[in-house]
Amino acid sequence: MGVKVRRTTSSNNSKQLLLVLLFILACLLLSRAITAANLRVDSHLPYEDEAFIVPLTRAESSESVYIGSNLIFVPNVDYTDIEAGSFVYDDYSRLPHASGVTISITDGWSDLGPDAIWHNSDGMPQARIIPRDGKKKVCGVYLMTLKFQDPDTTYHINIPHSNGLVYIYCNGNRLGSPWGRTDEWTPSHGFGYGFVPIIPDDNGEARIMIAISTNEKIHNPGILSYPAVSLSSNAMKYAVAPSIWIAFQMLLYLFILIGGFLISRTFKNSRFFYRFIIIEFLVLAYTVVDCYFIIFDSYTKQIIKFVMFILINMVTYLFIYTFFTASNGKKKTAFSMLSPSIVVLSAAVLIIATVLTTPELTTWFPLGPELLFTIIVGVTFSINLIMCHFDDGLYFLTSVIEICQLFFCFNALSDVKGVYNIPAYSVFFVIANLTLEFYFTTRYMIQARTLEDTMEHMQFLVQEKTLRISEINKDLFNTNKKLMENEQARKNVLSNVSHDLRTPITAIRGYAEIMLSSNNLSDVQRQNYLQNIIRRASQMERIISDIVELTRLESNANEFQFTDISLAELLDELCMMYDADLQGTSKSLILDIPDDDLLMVKADPKKLSRVFENLISNAINYTYDEAVITVKAWREGAHKDITQQTINVDIKDNGIGIPENEIPMIFDRFYRAKNSGQNIKGTGIGLSIVKTIVDRHDATISVESAIGKGTTFHLTMKATYR
C-alpha cells in the first residue's frame, strides 16, 4: 500500500510541476505579445529641410505616427524662458544645441543617441542646475518641425512618459501640458497620458517646442517615449483606452471588496482576507500613480512607486504564506517559520533607508533595490515551497500567484509606456486576481454553503424530533387509508381478472370435456372446438400480457426506442386495418389527415401504435351499432418555429360516454367506469398503458365525454423536422 501512495503522490506532483511550467511559458508568451503589440516604433517619417513630413490626412483612416529620431535638443532652456520671449524656436541656431537627437526611453537626454551632433559648443555641454522661482531645476527643450498635408484637420501630439514638468508650444503659442496645466510650476505637477491638439499655420507647418523641467536628483530627465502624432479620432481612442482599463480594475477591486466582506466569515484566518485587500489597494494605487492618473513631480513619483513596489511584494508574500499549512503532516522547518520575518525585515530596511536618505535617482536606484527585493521574495518562496509544501494541494495555486507576482515585478521594472497607457504588469495582476476570485468563489462559497446546509439539516432534525408523534399518527392514518384503498383496488382487480380469466377458462374446460366425453364428434365440430380453445387461450394471454406490459413500461425506460416517424402514415395504416374489421357492420371509421403534411414526431413506433390501437378499439367497443368513429390529426402553429409546433390527434366516437365524475380516474390502473360493463368486460389496464406511453413521449392526453353522446380523446405531441 505504501508503494501505491508514493507513486500516486509522485505522479500528482509531476502533473502540477508540468502545469506550472506550462503556465510560465504562457506568461512569457503573453508578456512578449503585450510588449510587441504595445511597443512604440519609430515611423521614420520623411525628413526634409529639417522638417518631418506627416502623412496623416482626414481622408484616410491612418494610425498614429511615432517620432524617435532627428530631433533638436537645446539644454538649459526652461518654459519660463519661452513664456518671457527670451527664447523662440529659431534661437536654437545661435545657442549650444544638438541635432540628430534620438529619444532614449531609459536615459532621457542623458543619452542623445549615436547620431547626435553638437553645435556652437566645444564638446557636449552638460545640463546645468538652474535656480528658478526659488527652486533648483534641470531643464531643456526638444524641437521639431512637422509639415501636414491637410492643415484644416485637427491633429494631436502625445508623450506618455517623461521625467519632469512638460509644456508644449506650437508656432510660438503655448498649447499647455497634456493634462491642461496652465499655471506655474508646483511640486504636484507632472505629465500624463493626455493628448495636446496641434494647430498648424496656413502652410500646414507646426514648429513644436517641448520644454521640460525636472528635479536635480533625476538621472534621466527628458522624454522617455516616442512622441505620437495622431488624428483626433485616433487620439480619442488612445486616451479613452487606459481610462476604461483603470475603471475596470477599480470595479474589480470594488467587487472583491464587497464580495470579500460577505464571504470573509468562511475564512479560517481573517488576516488572509485583509492581506488580500491590501494587495488589491496597493496595486491599484501603484497603477494610478504610474499611469499619471494622479500627478506628482518625477522625483516624488519614483519614491512613491518604490515604496509601494516593496510593500506589494512584501504583502503578497505574506498573503501566499497563509496558504501554506501543516495539514500534510510535515513539520515546518526553521527557515519556513522565519521566512515572513526575513521578507518583512528586508522591506523595512529598504523603505526606511530610502525615506531617511532621500537618495539621488540613478541607474542603480530604485531599480537595483527593487530587483534585489524581488529576488529575495522569489527565492524565499521557492525554498519554502520545495522544503515544506511541495506535496500540498495548494501547490499549483500558490505557484500561479507567485509567477504572476514575478511577471508583475519584471514588467513594472521595465517601465515602458507604449501605444496604449495600459501597463503589462497590470494584466498579470488581473490574471492573478481572477485566479484567486475563482478559487474563493468555488472553494469558500462551497464551504459556506455546506455549513449553511448542515445548520439547516440540524434545524430540520430538531423540528422532526419535535413533530415526530404527530407525523407518526398522520402517517399511520394515511397508511391505513392507503391500505384500505389498495385492498379495495385489489378486490376489484381480483374480481375483474378472475371474471375475465374465468370466462375463457370455463369455455376451454367445457370444450375439452365435450371432446373427452363424446366419441361422436365430427371433424368439423372437433376443429371448431379446438379453434375456440385457441381463441380463449389467446384472450387469457392478452389479459396477462397487458398486466406484464404495464409493469414493464412503468419500471423500465429502456423499453422505448425513439426515432422520427410520420404520424400520418401510422394512423393511415391503423385505420385501414380497423376498417377491414368493421366490414359487414353498421359502424364506420373516418380518417381526417392533411394531404401535404407527414406530421413528423419523435416517438417509439410500436409503443405509439399501441396507444392508437387501444383508443380506436375502445371507441369501436364502447359504441352502439350505429357508430361513427373519427380519427383526426393536424399540425398546430405551422407558422412558428419548429420547437413551438405541436401535432394533435383527436379520436372521437358517439358511444356510451363516460360519467363526468369518473373522467379524472379513467387512466388509473384497473379502474373501469361503472357503465363500461354494458358493452364489454375488461381489466382497466388498457388506458393505464396508454397514459404511461404518452408520458414517456413527453406528450399530453385529455378526455372530453358526456353520457350517451360519446367520448373524445385528445393527444398532443411535439413536432419534429419534416
- CATH code for position 59: 2.60.120.260
Domain that holds residue 637: 560-718
Q: How far is CA 60 from the centre of its chain?
A: 38
Q: Report the distance separating Cα 65 and Cα 671, nearest Å.
A: 88
| pLDDT for the residue numbered 309 | 94
| pLDDT for the residue numbered 269 | 59
**134 and 210 housed in the same domain:** yes
**551 and 572 housed in the same domain:** no
**91 and 9 housed in the same domain:** no
**Is residue 625, in this structure, part of any structural domain at all?**
yes
Is residue 94 within 8 Å of 77, Cβ to Cβ? Answer: no
| pLDDT for the residue numbered 82 | 92
**17 and 85 housed in the same domain:** no
Q: How many structural domains does the chain have?
A: 4
Which of 555, 570, 588 is the last residue in one of the domains?
A: 555
| pLDDT for the residue numbered 632 | 92
Q: Which residue has the cell 542623458?
A: 110
One-letter identity of residue 347? A
**Is residue 503, in this structure, part of any structural domain at all?**
yes
Q: Strand (E) positions, 171-280?
A: 173-176, 196-198, 205-215, 222-223, 228-231
Q: Report the distance separating Cα 621 and Cα 177, nearest Å.
A: 98
Taking only the tens place, the pLDDT of each residue in 351-402 is 998 878 878 887 778 888 999 999 999 998 888 877 766 666 677 778 888 8
**549 and 584 housed in the same domain:** no
Which of 386, 419, 447 is the last residue in one of the domains?
A: 447
Q: Report the distance separating Cα 287 and Cα 246, nearest Å.
A: 8
Q: Which of 244, 339, 222 is nearest to 291 (CA)?
A: 244
| pLDDT for the residue numbered 415 | 73
**139 and 221 housed in the same domain:** yes
Taking only the tens place, the pLDDT of each residue in 62-99 is 678 999 999 999 999 988 899 999 999 999 999 999 99
**56 and 199 housed in the same domain:** yes
What is the DSSP code string of 143-199? EEEEEES-TTS-EEEE---EESEEEEEETTEEEE-TT---S---TT----S--EEE-
**Is residue 421, in this structure, part of any structural domain at all?**
yes
Global pTM? 0.58
Mean pLDDT per segment of 10 residues, for the chain of length 722 residues? 43 78 90 84 91 80 84 92 92 93 91 92 73 77 92 83 88 72 35 69 92 88 90 73 83 80 62 82 88 78 91 91 59 80 93 84 84 92 77 75 88 79 85 79 72 80 75 77 64 61 73 77 79 74 67 62 89 86 83 89 87 85 83 89 89 85 74 56 70 87 87 91 66
Distance set, CA 350 to CA 57, 218, 307, 359, 373 (Å): 52, 19, 9, 12, 9
| pLDDT for the residue numbered 158 | 86
**196 and 233 housed in the same domain:** yes
Q: To the nearest 10°, report the CA torsion of 235, 240, 245, 246.
A: 110
